[in-house]
Structure 1
Amino acid sequence: VMKVPRTPRHVFLILLASSVRAQVNPEMCRYPLGMAGGQIQDEDISASSQWSDSTAARFDNGDGDGAWCPDIMSEPGALKEYLQVDLRSLHFITLVGTQGRHADGMGNEFAQRYRIKYSRDGSNWVGWHDRRGGQVIEGNSNAYDVVLKDLEPPIIARFVRFMPVTDHSMIVCMRVELYGCEWLDGLMSYNIPDGHQMIHRGLDVYFNDSVYDGAIGLGQLTDGTWGLDDFLHSHIYSMWPGYDYVGWNNKSFPKGYVEMIFEFDHVRNFTSMKVHCNNMFSRGVSMFRQASCFFRSGSEWEADPVTFRPTSDRASQIARFVTVPLGDRTASAIKCRFHFADLWMLFSEVAFQSGSAVYNTSLTPRDDPTHKVDDSNTRILIGCLVAIIAILMTIIVIILWRQVWQKMLEKASRRMLDDELTARLAVQTQAFASHHSSLSSDAGSTSNSTYERIFPLCADYQEPSRLIRKLPEFTQFTEHLGRIKAQCHQCYGAPHYAEADIISLQETSDSNTYSIAAVHMNLFAGTDSSMREFPRDKLTFKEKLGEGQFGEVHLCEAEGMLDFLEEDLSVERNDELPLLVAVKTLREDANKNARNDFLKEIRIMSRLRDPNIVRLLAVCVDTDPLCMITEYMENGDLNQFLCSFCPLLFSYSKLIGMAAQIASGMRYLSFLNFVHRDLATRNCLVGKNYTIKIADFGMSRNLYRGDYYRIQGRAVLPIRWMSWESILLGKFTMASDVWAFGVTLWEILTLCEEQPYSQLSDEQVIENTGEFFRDQGKQVYLPRPHRCPERVYNDLMLSCWRRNAKQRPSFQEIHAQLVESMA
């Protein structure tokens, strides 16, 4: 008989067989399964509904604009909307990650909580719950950060659904990733008797399968967690005694064995089975005495079982794996009978080693003793592989050598520029320090002649923006960026997936405005049923307010608007006079994206209902140009209202009352998770009896062009109202709105007599933002207005400008404090 040499296929099968022998370890089985990396194809991602044609629900897709956003707004308690991922095969999933949509600083949609459903066959769905029965998973608190959650217990599934959960009506957007590894067992379900209860010295010990996921499902025997030697203790903190094991009492089984049935995904060739058993014989618990396994490939069980008797061990009470050889039997289902050796039998894990069965009735080389295999092709293949490896190694060496030379040249160039850079920093710092000392009498000693190196704490670290990089004093910071990232990784283990950059707003050809709040707050489909078409011929042009991102903004009179709405608008009804409204129009030559954004704003504003938020009244969308009609109070915006009247007309209580109304409106927006991003007195409108409503018209008016700072000719930002993290990191949150509210309150109490930081140029305002970032006591605060009590300035206004965003008050707290100060 001639010996058949091993071909690469034989080698591959040997390597595969050795790899599947490894038991699943949840601590190691944490690899990303391909949402971010692209291994999961677009056709494998589906949803109950989505705003756009593509779900785009992947991590780290550049500017953070792509995400899955349901087509309708999530309602409290509703679980109709879901994002589904098909992994194409069974996987052991130990970890999930979620991220919101920030659109490079222009969006703020995320799921605060969600649930997960999964399926192994696509038809039977199971809701995941933790080891205590909880089903809701805490998600994101902002649109930037990636939140990773361990699934305890892990799940075995092919299909996974993410289902947002909300407490109030709101919009969510999600990007997701799954972590785990392929489930090589192929085990789809097992069917075992219910576990029993033991009474041990008056202590109730429960051996039930508490995480079993269905009538025919999987549970603790496949969760990758092995029980301890002492079954009264558990790997899982604060769980009941016996939690890690599923166990049975001999007295309940007259035949003396426990029967288990295991179903697999397809016909497999089984080599062995591993069973983790407890062996604490001092308490009446021992390994099984005998295992008899039957096999089924079709509809009937085969008559001849495989029988195995493990060696009895009465010397050690250590729990262990017992390997049952299965003799390379072929089957799609296995029925095993485990015979008792003592009063109790406890299992914590069962795993199978197998390979896919291959059926071939033709004669193979192994069957034909006269067949001689030609291995010349194998030799050629091996030679090609060796050559390819050598070429790759050469390329890697060349790349590494070039990188070394590049770093050496960079270091040399830095040394040449050190003297010049130090001189520039000294001059710039001294100029700013002298200006600082002239602005604030409370300032301490004059700042040093050079800026110190910056080493931000790991917890607060974010990559700085392109805007901060152009400031000379941050050159030293960028040199240590890689080192700081490494330090943060060591501090916290998991990488930071969502490092923000300064927002880069794309504007149309004739637009020079900063895109704000409502347009990018959230997405949802379906125009509100209350939004009716208003006749265009009943709109009379009065004044052009300005030009916005979408087109022009006009002040108009709407004839018959109150009768058209047939509801109270909290305005004084006068049937003889038309209603004053603001009309936003979309340019007729606007592109498709601008048109979609315009319609998004309509859908968003149609759902906002608050006494202190400007309301969308009607639309004109039957023909071009598209129009939205909103409230416009007769007293105009708050900035001009405060400037135009005698200061004696405004008492402190009236001013605080105005601020409280703004805080109330922002509190409403914060409940809906909406970030305004341009809160200021110019964006607040005034009605009769000092009624204040938050709007977004200010940036479209030429009057306030000086309030916005242009960045590299593309985007404009209200930097004097923005928090340090918004300017330097492009990060807009409710906390950054709180910062802007503090500036708005300062405007109100100064009666808008001057612009915030009016003594500083735009560049110096940005420099001052850097001082907030460094937090070395050199930052300049807006001074206390003379109408503002010290308590309000110290306890409220300064708290809005705290460096740590988490330490700033919420709008609910601000509103309560303002109401209290009015008393």
Structure 2
Amino acid sequence: MRSFMLYTRWFFGAIKRADAENQLLYSENQTGAFLIRESESQKGEFSLSVLDEGVVKHYRIRRLDEGGFFLTRRKIFSTLNEFVSYYTTASDGLCVRLEKPCLKIQVPTPFDLSYKTVDQWEIERSSVQLLKRLGSGQFGEVWEGLWNNTTPVAVKTLKPGSMDPNDFLREAQIMKSLRHPKLIQLYAVCTLEDPIYIITELMRHGSLQEYLQIDAGSKIYLTQQVDMAAQVASGMAYLESQNYIHRDLAARNVLVGEHNIYKVADFGLARVFKVDNEDIYESKHEIKLPVKWTAPEAIRTNKFSIKSDVWSFGILLYEIITYGKMPYTGRTGAEVIQMLSQNYRLPQPPNCPEQFYSIMLECWNAEPTERPTFEKLHLKLEDYFETDSSYSETNNFIR
């Protein structure tokens, strides 16, 4: 049966719930468009995702031990093909009758500028054209650019003195080896003269922080917020698997692309930046930290781990659920350090579900070893809306 399903237009395999929603919300899909995917939380089971008037709804397809598939036990099918055939003729409890299979959108994957830049990251500055300034910050500016008059890229120009070029080149070698759909792909650098250029894939909607602040709840709701968090956790789980630490995880360092794609950026740069900001804590060892996102033990000892990144992820969740609000609003870095020493935690924001806030609190466990892994956080966020308590025999809709 599995080999047959690989050739059906409606079977999308092991894609995630969020990816299924992105596919179905593609403008050319109409009400009744559907797909079947492998369940993320229940091995051997499947989920049905259906588009209903601009909203994607999900149903768990249960499986009998002796074979057979069903939404409710009163109607059991021997194959998924029979299941689909039946529900294309009658909704019978579904939100709508199944119509056409979901159209597959091909989401671009990171690529190199050319075969040369796979191993060589220093390129000619003259090959990069700056077209449009996208933003600026304490380290420099971000531009939309064009490489060799052919390839759209993002170019980060760094203020002179913001980092040591030799330090960055060592970091760039590692960064180029890290490839994941939820990490910004580093293409190349120009370091032979100031300002340093960092050339990456282009994400047209800018930083997640600005994206959230501009929306302020007009179009982005909990479903999208959980999806953002899950995508970031996916990228961080990959860094975790590679024994790599970000050290500056925050909404400002997550970028937004087309089709609701969110990617972690600037991993590795925290190791080489020299920053000066009132919210940055400078230790006696001259290591400067973004205090409001930094775990207490990292502030105390200047020792970072993937678990200190998990703490920062909890702050990122706060930013997501508050539409880019500054954590510890009105407090200086020194005041935040004092508050954390007294086990203070950011309070549950208005309109933040208890379930979402509990994940934040897990990330802020005082004991680093008790904080969840990014792998677990990713699974928890992917399954956020898929809980067995939301099912009944008469209504199998995943709420």
Quote the Cα distance in structure 2 between the aligned partners of 1:735 and 1:769: 16
Question: Residue 760 of structure 1 aligns with which residue?
Answer: 331
1:816 partnered with 2:388? no
CA contact (8 A) 1:583 1:628 kept: yes
Task: Look up the SS of the partner of 1:693 in the other structure.
Answer: strand
Which residues of 2 match residues 369-768 of structure 1 at below 5 A?
A: 528-529=118-119, 531=121, 533=123, 536-540=126-130, 542-543=132-133, 545-546=136-137, 548=139, 552-560=140-148, 579-584=152-157, 587=160, 594-620=164-190, 623-625=192-194, 627-696=197-266, 705=277, 707-710=279-282, 715-752=287-324, 754-768=325-339
For the residue of structure 2 that corresponds to 1:639, the secondary structure is helix
| 1:720 aligned counterpart, secondary structure | helix
1:605 is displaced (CA, Å) by 1.7
Whichever residue aligns with residue 662 of structure 1, its letter is V
Instruction: State the Cα deviation string for residues 484-529 of structure 1 (Å, max 9, x = none).
Output: xxxxxxxxxxxxxxxxxxxxxxxxxxxxxxxxxxxxxxxxxxx852
Identity of matched residues, %: 33
In the alignment, residue 810 of structure 1 is paired with which amino acid? T
Q: Cα distance 1:547–1:788, how it changes in 2: closer, same or farther (>3 A)?
A: closer
Shift in Å, 1:633? 1.2
Instruction: Say if 1:646 and 1:724 are closer, same or farther in 2 by CA, change over 3 A.
Output: closer
Tell me the TM-score normalised to structure 1 length: 0.30
With over 3 angstroms needed to count, the CA separation of the structure-2 counterparts of 1:599 and 1:746, relative to structure 1, is: same
**Partner residue of 1:799 out of 358, 362, 367:** 362
Provide the rounded CA distance (Å) in 2 between the counterparts of 1:690 and 1:706. 33
Q: Partners in 2 of 1:680 and 1:669 — Cα distance?
A: 15
- Is the alpha carbon distance of 1:600 and 1:764 closer, same or farther for their aligned partners in structure 2, counting shifts above 3 Å? same
Seen in structure 2, the aligned counterparts of structure 1 residues 546 and 757 have a Cα distance that, compared at 3 Å, is closer
Distance in 2, matches of 1:747 and 1:695, equals 16
Distance in 2, matches of 1:637 and 1:611, equals: 17
Aligned to 1:790: 354
Deviation at 1:743, TM superposition (A): 0.7
Q: Give the equivalent residue in structure 2 for 1:264.
A: none
Question: Per-residue deviation at 1:714?
Answer: 5.3
Larger RCO (CA under 8 A, 6+ residues apart)? 2
Q: Distance in 1 between the 2:253 and 2:279 partners?
A: 12
Structure 2 vs 1, CA of residues 766 and 585 (structure 1 numbering), >3 Å: closer, same or farther? Answer: closer
SS where residue 769 of structure 1 aligns? helix
Contact 1:708 1:718 in 2 (8 A): yes
2:51 alignment partner in structure 1: none
Q: Distance in 2 between matches of 1:817 and 1:661?
A: 12
Asked if structure 1 preserves the Cα contact closer than 8 Å seen for 2:322 and 2:349, the reply is: yes
**What's the CA shift for 1:643?**
0.4
Q: Does the 8 Å contact 2:189/2:197 carry over to 1?
A: yes
The one-letter amino acid of 2:300's match is: L
Aligned equivalents of 1:685, 1:787: Cα separation in 2? 25
Counterpart CA distance in 1 for 2:312 and 2:381 is: 16
Query: Where do residues 142-221 of structure 1 align in structure 2 (5 Å cutoff)?
Result: none
- Distance in 2, Cα, partners of 1:728 & 1:785: 27
Contact 1:664 1:815 in 2 (8 A): yes
User: Is 2:203–2:255's contact at 8 Å kept on the other side of the alignment?
Assistant: yes
The question of whether the paired residues in 2 share the 8 Å contact of 1:612 and 1:693 is answered with yes
Partner of 1:780: 344
CA distance in 1, matches of 2:284, 2:127: 42
Give yes or no for contact 1:580–1:632 (8 Å, CA) kept in 2: yes
TM-score by length of 2: 0.59
2:154, 2:381 → 1: CA distance? 30
Q: Which amino acid aligns with 1:764?
A: E
8 Å CA contact retained: 1:580, 1:634:
no
- Contact kept in structure 2, 1:536 and 1:620, CA below 8 Å: no
Could you tell me how far apart the structure 2 residues matched to 1:816 and 1:661 are?
A: 11
User: SS of the counterpart of 2:123?
Assistant: coil
**Structure number, greater radius of gyration:** 1
Q: Which runs of 5+ in 2 are unaligned?
A: 1-116, 387-399
In the superposition, relative to structure 1, how do residues 784 and 546 fare at CA in structure 2: closer, same or farther (>3 Å)? Answer: closer
Q: What residue identity is the alignment partner of 2:380?
A: Q
Give the equivalent residue in structure 2 for 1:223: none
Asked if the contact 1:652–1:787 (Cα under 8 Å) also holds between the matched residues in 2, the reply is no
SS at match of 1:655: helix
How big is the shift at 1:710?
4.8
Asked if the contact 1:635/1:641 (under 8 Å) is kept, the reply is yes
Change in 2 beyond 3 A, CA 1:547/1:757 = closer
RMSD (Å), alpha carbons: 3.2
Q: Deviations over 1:113-141 (max 9, x none)?
A: xxxxxxxxxxxxxxxxxxxxxxxxxxxxx
Paired AA for residue 199 in structure 2 = I
Deviations, residues 565-623 of structure 1 (Å, cap 9, x unaligned) = xxxxxxxxxxxxx6241234584x89xx92321211221221111111111123346x5
Report how far residue 712 of structure 1 moved.
Answer: 7.3
SS in 1 for 2:180: coil
What is the rounded CA distance, in whole Å, between the counterparts of 1:536 and 1:611 in structure 2? 29
Cα deviation, 1:14-36, whole Å, max 9, x if unaligned, reads xxxxxxxxxxxxxxxxxxxxxxx
Q: Aligned with 1:648: secondary structure? A: coil
CA distance in 1: counterparts of 2:230 and 2:334, whole angstroms: 32
CA distance in 2 between counterparts of 1:806 and 1:687 reads 34
| Residue in structure 1 matched with residue 46 of structure 2 by the alignment | none
Q: CA deviation at 1:690?
A: 1.9
- Contact map agreement 1:528 1:607 (CA 8 A) in 2: no
Once residues 250 and 279 of structure 2 are traced to their aligned partners in structure 1, the CA distance between those partners, rounded to angstroms, is 10
Paired residues of 2:282 and 2:289 also in contact (CA < 8 A): yes
Indicate conservation of the 8 Å contact 1:662/1:692, yes or no.
Answer: yes
Amino acid at match of 1:807: E
Superimposed CA distance per residue, residues 57-115 of structure 1 (whole angstroms, 9 cap, x where no aligned partner): xxxxxxxxxxxxxxxxxxxxxxxxxxxxxxxxxxxxxxxxxxxxxxxxxxxxxxxxxxx
Is the 8 Å Cα contact of residues 680 and 741 (structure 1) preserved in structure 2?
Answer: yes
Aligned pairs for 1:220-369 within 5 A: none
The amino acid that maps onto 1:789 is P
Corresponding letter in the other structure for 1:582: V
Residues 721 and 740, structure 1, Cα contact 8 Å, conserved in 2: yes
